[in-house]
């Protein structure tokens, strides 16, 4: 009885048990509850369990991790050429996506204005990158740095406001750091843009290693 699991017919089972042994029922309930609320050791275990539920094969994560590591190493060892190729691929992707959005506008007329705007923007951005391969990496990097800087400012200000509304000192500190980071990016757009490929390389290597570890934990 001590090792059994409580089933949905628990009230009927209680009626059949001999009197004077309520502690056995309590022990079984506690064990059953603990078994249903096991906390994974870390976030990696949670991700592995979720991936199994989604029926994603482990080798897909392994392949993704190896690609991330390869791209990260290329960014760190051959920065200029890798950044140039990466931006060109991005330009081709935006161009194709823009054409697809324009075609979909005629196939499905819902949200046609949004599809038209995104299609034209994708086509123009793709053509600009393809036609100006030498300036495109710095231009795209600068736009990304400006976006991250503005996002950091807005997120930091919102965090500080939430701190004054009762979120605590933690939110205020994080908000202040976010504001400082955003201001630094906006004040050093050139330097931040030049450092961006190395940052992407480090993130690629670290993220790739983590993905490979996740893949082997799923196997």
- Cβ(201)–Cβ(68) below 8 Å: no
pLDDT for 53 equals 53
Q: Are residue 24 and residue 105 in the same domain, yes or no? A: no
32: domain range? Answer: 1-38
Q: Are residue 182 and residue 210 in the same domain, yes or no? A: yes
Give the number of other Cβ atoms within 10 Å of residue 41's Cβ: 8
Q: Are residue 34 and residue 138 in the same domain, yes or no? A: no
Q: Are residue 171 and residue 91 in the same domain, yes or no? A: yes
pLDDT digits (tens, 9 = 90+) for 176-206: 999 999 999 999 999 999 999 999 999 999 9
User: Does the model's pTM come out above 0.85?
Assistant: no
Q: Among 61, 104, 59, 83, which residue's Cα sits nearest to residue 195?
A: 83
Q: Are residue 75 and residue 31 in the same domain, yes or no? A: no
Q: Are residue 55 and residue 25 in the same domain, yes or no? A: no
Confidence at 133, pLDDT banded by 50, 70, 90: confident
Rounded distance, CA 141 to CA 209, Å?
A: 25
Q: 17-21, 84-88, 107-111: which has the highest mean pLDDT?
A: 84-88
Q: Which residues of 161-184 are buried (b: 16+ CB within 10 A; e: fewer)?
A: eebeeeeeeebbebbeebbebbee
Q: Are residue 150 and residue 212 in the same domain, yes or no? A: yes
The DSSP line for 1-19 is: -TT----TTHHHHHHHSPT
For the record, the structure tokens of 152 come out as: 């950091």
Q: Are residue 177 and residue 103 in the same domain, yes or no? A: yes
Q: Are residue 213 and residue 200 in the same domain, yes or no? A: yes
Q: Are residue 128 and residue 72 in the same domain, yes or no? A: yes
Count the domains in the chain: 2
N-terminal to C-terminal alpha carbon distance within the chain: 35
pLDDT for 46 equals 60
Q: Are residue 89 and residue 172 in the same domain, yes or no? A: yes
pLDDT for 188 equals 94
Q: Are residue 56 and residue 125 in the same domain, yes or no? A: yes
């Amino acid at each position: 009885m001590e090792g059994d699991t409580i089933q949905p017919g628990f009230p009927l089972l209680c009626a059949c048990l001999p009197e004077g042994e309520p502690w056995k029922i309590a022990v079984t309930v506690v064990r059953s509850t603990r078994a249903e609320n096991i906390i994974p050791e870390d976030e990696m275990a949670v991700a592995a369990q979720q991936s199994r539920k989604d029926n994603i094969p482990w080798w897909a994560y392994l392949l993704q991790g190896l690609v991330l590591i390869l791209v990260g190493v290329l960014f760190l060892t051959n920065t200029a050429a890798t950044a140039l190729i990466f931006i060109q691929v991005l330009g081709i992707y935006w161009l194709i996506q823009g054409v697809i959005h324009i075609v979909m506008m005629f196939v499905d007329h819902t949200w046609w204005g949004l599809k038209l705007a995104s299609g034209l923007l994708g086509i123009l951005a793709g053509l600009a990158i393809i036609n100006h391969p030498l300036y495109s990496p710095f231009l795209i990097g600068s736009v990304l740095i400006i976006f991250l800087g503005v996002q950091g400012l807005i997120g930091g200000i919102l965090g500080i406001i939430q701190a004054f509304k009762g979120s605590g000192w933690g939110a205020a500190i994080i908000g202040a750091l976010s504001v400082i980071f955003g201001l630094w990016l906006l004040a050093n757009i050139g330097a931040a843009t030049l450092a961006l490929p190395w940052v992407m390389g480090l993130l690629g290597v670290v993220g790739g290693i983590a993905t490979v570890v996740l893949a082997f934990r799923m196997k």
